[in-house]
Structure 1
């Protein structure tokens, strides 16, 4: 599936590419155009004219690739990442005589049946539909012998232009080049560059603008020398003079966000300059009002927790499956979600459930199946809104294998399905079989793959993405992608104004604009390369006898339990079949593991994850982020190079060789000490589940959701709280006291809380807290202990709630 640059070069040489390979390697804006079908003599002449001019069309150059069948076209799009446009001609065959890809079997089987049932005049649009699913970023053009007007009317949104065969060949060339230019254009970045080039005298804020406050100083001139003058020339507070306002964009920033929405498959996209932390709060405030119920992944990012506190939501936490051997969590099973929704239905509270918040994919690379999750949840509650935290998944939409597991890719699919008469017929059949008696049987509902009622279900999906984490954007650069059939502009705008600075950083915004451009024009190539480098690292570590003694690469069989892995795939890549296991897993499994996340189990070294991380950075200048007591997480991104991977492998070998040296020279006592360290790292430490909210903060006792906002507000007053060290808290619990957290406690990384305001503290959580080796634990002071509510405060709140209930009011 993944084609290296060397293969692309060989492919070009085999076709007699006339430029020197050396010059092609340095041409940054070179691309190719795919022609499907047989060209007429006039079209062939036009092609030869294009080739003579290709190196002189503005800043772009392109060459042409020709195929005769649908299968060859899809193969080319899968293996050639530099294709930017496809021109489909009438009169092509379906199957290739000699070229087949395992990764396309499912697509081709579906298309084969449709192809035979489709008149020849409609086969071009049929192929275009499947190309758009595979590579939506490429521009599509159609050249037809007749009925051009009919094609244009029926498929105008699919094709950028439709041409009649033999006419306007030069216009086709210009259309292709214009299509590339339009995607290359970065409106906001261009506006900032233009502004920086103007001779502006600034009588408003910022002193640092134009670098004049630096030039007037003898003490900070090194600041400009380090960052360069353009940074400060572009630093401005202006929203006029060709610039724009993030809070009310009408010019280049508006156009930049519209381009991002198209590129990421959204109906709307909004740029955010304070990271996904702010993006999550904006989404929460848009939808949640005091008393609304939110079902949320307990291990979601801390920003979601704070957003829910501010919104005064009734929060019901969902437990992800635990991976105790590696001290980390997976993702929330669909069965857990459905069980909670059914509980609210039994309690007569289903209409109060407003929002479902889930992480996709997790820090460790566990990818959900958003389509199945949303389909089955909408079958139970068709009014639901879904907020997907895709902070680590911004790159995924630009690869056909990942795309079906993204929030925006799934939202588009669901809306199309709910409008499809065939789906409606299928739902009617399902509804007739799965009647009222079945809905009364919770176990049957949990075990059945549900279908949503297309006449009731609404597609309301939000995805927050940290563009800066895996793509090419400055730190804090994030986006909110929206596909909401009932979008409330007033509510969203209000939330946006609440959490967004009136002084956003223009450089962050410019980097988001450029990140969109890069992903639009070469995202597929970069994601393929990211996958290839991830697999290279996995293969090298797993295949080296020395490295295997001390480092184990965790695979899907380690991080995704069998009950969520229908494919039974233990590895995703094979030398003979390529990525077919990964493709199958994506189609069938409830959870899949992102191959570009490589978790190494390191207990054999005798070092904890935190210690290993520190040595990597201090001694070898290798930066990683997430660790557990016995694992470290590495990942490949758009910025990873092959040299980086080779360097990490070399450093791991140095660790292994150092371990070998020490082992050879250990005394018996030293060997026992080392063995004890290894044993302590491999002993299973159970991960804590969310215990419960204390009754003082339970909004509804039957459903068990809690008012974290109330607990958080009370905790702001010192008189309501006291401090207990973990050991003292454990003794108090053993003695019968109900100890309740007054603050959110959050080990970082990964930023997933283990205690919430209002949560009953249990002994498993305390044991887990004491076993943590991370140094940064927000909300926990090692000197004074845990902030908890006093028993008097809890009794007072219970009395107030009881009194309010007796008088028919609320507390």
Structure 2
């Protein structure tokens, strides 16, 4: 691609990322330009400038509106005719109408006729809106849901109009949904349409069509190449273009319903070997069949089995003779004191409150009806093989998965700065924990992710020790609180080359939304698991593995470990088993009531190895009285994710880009605030693409796809980390004093010198503007503060700034477990039995407190005593454990704790000091551990002797 073409492509990609905002803004500008043009004198100097502005705006909008149902191509032709005939008054009215209809969503509720005057149209619409019972009323909750159907067919204008009219006449007022149709002629146009038009919910494809679009070819080239270059080339060269286009659309937007119109038998054309198409229509099929199929496909995704069952139950007359007096608001209606509860919440929440599993409802612990079906729908939406609802948060989901898969003594590799629920899960399961260190960002007091080389090094070490069979699971956080995202597929692929049956648990508590965007999705666990499953079955991959084995065989045995650390590993497709689990906080990033979470499973061995233990773990941690409102919200939240998740996540991304761009380009904001970019959160060695930031002034946001396709770690741009060290105010104080107390802005993540803003699907454009306005007001306040400082105050302030920008304590690595808690120390491994340490502290005689402030702890360390923490020590911020039970306190950890200026440290009592195990308790434990090892060794030796004796029919030796 030439430099000119590349620049054009980058401009288009920047446009794509902020398409919704630019579309809205351009219609506003066009409305203003046409109004001024219609009222200006044609002889005035500004008249020609206004004509040029209108022409440019129409041209810009036409490149988008060609792929939307409203305004239609016919509408746009009408605008051009008015412009070319210099009917500027009529053009002004038409543009005002379209803008009004787009802003109010009118086109979703009724067909729009631009021939009506603006006044007549508004009057008619307002009349409809005033009727709450109108099926097309303005109340979106009562109007029929609207969507658009994409038809890919190279038709002449007359034929296209006939097709659109035919599809329109099939609509009926009794239909559950209503839709409009878009026709595009080429492969590239189809891809652009599904990417930029979130209203598209179904696609009808012909077997063949032209490939190249007459417009925006740079956009499709870059977008598809960024997702999968090989796939793009394959589609272009395919003889079955319709089938391959369906494959690609399924890759980009798997939620869409795909249909094929064919003149040849499927078995002849081999067009649907992967089942991407819901139905294939032939020339003899009527359009009515197609119409009903389209509506039926939408109905499948619209269906909410459990939410619908709960609504139906709430309308039944019942008598309550079981638990739950609040059911149907009986205990509230009769009350003289708590009637305001009913006033506040409304009646429906109590009508739907029940503890029964009968009457069309279902049991969460043994679902067989609507709840089972709702979970199957969730599995479809997230691409898992099975999914489970959890009503008490991802903390519980994490413990369920760990308990289901891990037995006491199994080794788990886990990132140390993961959520605390994982650490407690290790305690409950009895796992032997090998903590992995994430790369630190010392200047920000933030950890990133665990480098793949670090994971491979530990797996290879256990393999060398002959202990790899004990390594059961790799547990990582994707994405982290600060937005650092793994290359999930590469991590799993290379780890499976060392241990083919390794289980992966990806904590995606903050990443549930990622399944509904084509760029984000590629770094989710479920997508990666499905992708690897397909990849391992391909003949091409088997050849790749054979070539890898030949390459590895040429490396000297003593050098193989070093070689494997530096090179990409390829697993044996005959041995590798995909065993992947994901926990997601649906309530954090999608629509659900608080504590609504899900577990998604893609485990090839689940049925024969895990299902029974998973069910036991699920029942262990799940209430027998789950909150039905949470379950219903998970069900209906899934509907939203499938039908409009793509649109909402795109808007989320657009808004985050808008805020970032404003902050990057504002010199006033940069005086105190620095919005961090890729290079600030991901070191150079993990950015193979070389991309330092997704944004630059010349090309806009044009490099995100490149980074997400190639880098070991990337940053989610919707996580906006702001460095505030130059303010002289620590993160926690800034959050409380400047954001929450003054402006009501809520955030829940800070470090010593950063604050984190998270843009989600509920964030609005006005919210972004409000936040930026508040930051500008804060800048004004800080400038006044600095102007009024005395020399002494300025010196104190500068000292604070220095401490927050240059003198931050380095983040400590994990030290080690004390020998008493290292069951594998005789073999040379260093995992820890955290459960043993945790419960040892239940006896107060086993621990003591040592003061952190008076030098007592330093003196004890200098005397040679090995101090071992008896509890979790978690400073907040940053919120990760710097000490766990059984961990040796190192000098680096001590210095870090002393340098912390936070007041909230979980597990630490400043009045008593730091809780450590007594030397006597550790000595007793080491002696008992030694005795246990002797017993285990004796049993192993005896078992070996028994087997040998049985083989040679000798006398069995006595057990020592």
TM-score range, shorter chain: over 0.9
Residue 443 of structure 1 deviates from its aligned partner by 1.5
Instruction: Return the match for 2:107 from 8, 16, 24.
Output: 24
Single out whichever of 592-601 and 107-116 deviates more from structure 2: 107-116
Q: Deviations over 1:569-600 (max 9, x none)?
A: 12113466454311000011000000000001
* Deviation for aligned residue 1:39: 5.5
Aligned mate of 1:484, from 603, 608, 621: 603
What is the correspondence of 1:91-490 to structure 2 with a 5 Å cutoff? Answer: 91-100=208-217, 101=219, 102-106=222-226, 109-111=229-231, 113-115=233-235, 117-119=237-239, 122-150=240-268, 154-155=272-273, 157-435=275-553, 437=555, 440-441=558-559, 442-487=561-606, 488-490=610-612
Worse-superposed segment, 427-436 or 446-455: 427-436
Mapped to 2, the partners of 1:760 and 1:218 lie a distance apart of 59
Deviation at 1:805, TM superposition (A): 2.7
- Distance across 1 between alignment mates of 2:901 and 2:289: 64
2:752 to 629, 639, 643: 629
Distance 2:20 2:453 in 1: 41
1:694 aligned to 2:814?
A: no
- 1:721–1:742 CA contact under 8 A, matched in 2: yes
- 1:293/1:352 contact within 8 Å kept: yes
More off after superposition, 578-587 vs 13-22:
13-22
The whole-number CA distance in structure 2 between the counterparts of 1:777 and 1:592 is 30
Counterparts of 1:535-574 in structure 2, within 5 Å, are 535-574=657-696
SS in 2 for 1:479: strand
Is the radius of gyration larger for structure 1 or structure 2?
Answer: 2
Q: Contact 1:42–1:166 at 8 Å: present in 2 too?
A: no
Partner Cα separation in structure 1 for residue 425 and residue 74 of structure 2: 59
Supply the distance in 1 between the matched residues of 2:887 and 2:517 (Cα, whole angstroms): 41
- What runs of 5+ residues in structure 2 fail to find an aligned partner? 1-15, 28-60, 76-96, 109-137, 940-960
Q: Distance in 2 between matches of 1:664 and 1:153?
A: 72
Do the aligned residues in 2 keep the contact of 1:314 with 1:705 (CA within 8 Å)? yes
Q: TM-score, normalization: structure 2? A: 0.82
CA distance in 1, matches of 2:21, 2:776: 28
The answer to whether 1:88 aligns with 2:205 is: yes
1:502 aligns with 2:630: no
TM-superposed CA distance for 1:747, in Å, is 3.0
Q: How far is the alpha carbon of 1:48 from its aligned partner?
A: 1.3
Matched, 1:802 2:930: yes
Structure 1 residue 82, shift from structure 2 partner: 1.6
- How far is 1:272 from its partner? 0.3
Counterpart of 1:35 in structure 2 is 151
Match of 1:593 in 2: 715
Using structure 1 for the length normalisation, give the TM-score: 0.96
| Aligned partner (choices 67, 73, 79) of residue 196 of structure 2 | 79
Deviations 1:672-691 (A, max 9, x none): 11111111111231001110
Indicate the SS of the match to 1:416. helix
Q: Paired residue for 1:4?
A: 20
Corresponding position of 1:70: 187
Aligned residue among 830, 850, 860 for 1:732: 860
Change beyond 3 A, Cα 1:612–1:420: same
- Counterparts of 1:596-675 in structure 2, within 5 Å, are 596-615=718-737, 616-675=739-798
**How many Å apart are 1:5 and its aligned residue?**
6.4
Change (3 A) 1:107 1:771: closer
* Candidates 703, 706, 714, aligned match of 2:829: 703
Q: Note the C-alpha offset of 1:98.
A: 2.2
**Structure 1 residues 211 and 804: CA distance shift in structure 2, 3 A:** same
Q: Which runs of 4+ in 1 moved over 6 A?
A: 40-44
Distance 1:39 1:173 in 2: 20
Aligned residues of 1:103 and 1:580 also touching (Cα < 8 A): no
- Alignment root-mean-square deviation, CA: 2.1
| 3-state DSSP of counterpart to 2:323 | coil
Tell me if 1:580 matches 2:702: yes
Residue aligned with 2:355, SS: coil
What are the ranges of 5 or more consecutive residues in structure 1 without an aligned counterpart?
none
Moved more, 22-31 or 94-103: 22-31
Q: Does structure 2 retain, via aligned residues, the 8 Å contact 1:152–1:162?
A: no
Q: 1:718 to 1:112 in 2, by over 3 A?
A: closer
Q: Secondary structure at the match of 2:679?
A: helix
Residue deviations 1:448-473, cap 9 Å, x none? 01111101000000000000111111
Contact 1:298 1:320 in 2 (8 A): yes
Q: Hey, what's the Cα distance between the residues in 2 that align with 1:803 and 1:73?
A: 71
**Displacement of 1:809:** 5.3
In structure 2, relative to structure 1, the CA distance for the partners of 1:5 and 1:48 (3 Å cut) is farther
CA 668–604 in structure 1, closer or farther in 2 if over 3 Å, else same: same
1:718 to 2:844 alignment: yes
Residue 803 of structure 2 is aligned to residue 685 of structure 1: no
What SS does structure 1 have at the residue aligned with 2:692? coil
What secondary structure is seen at the aligned counterpart in 2 of 1:395?
A: helix
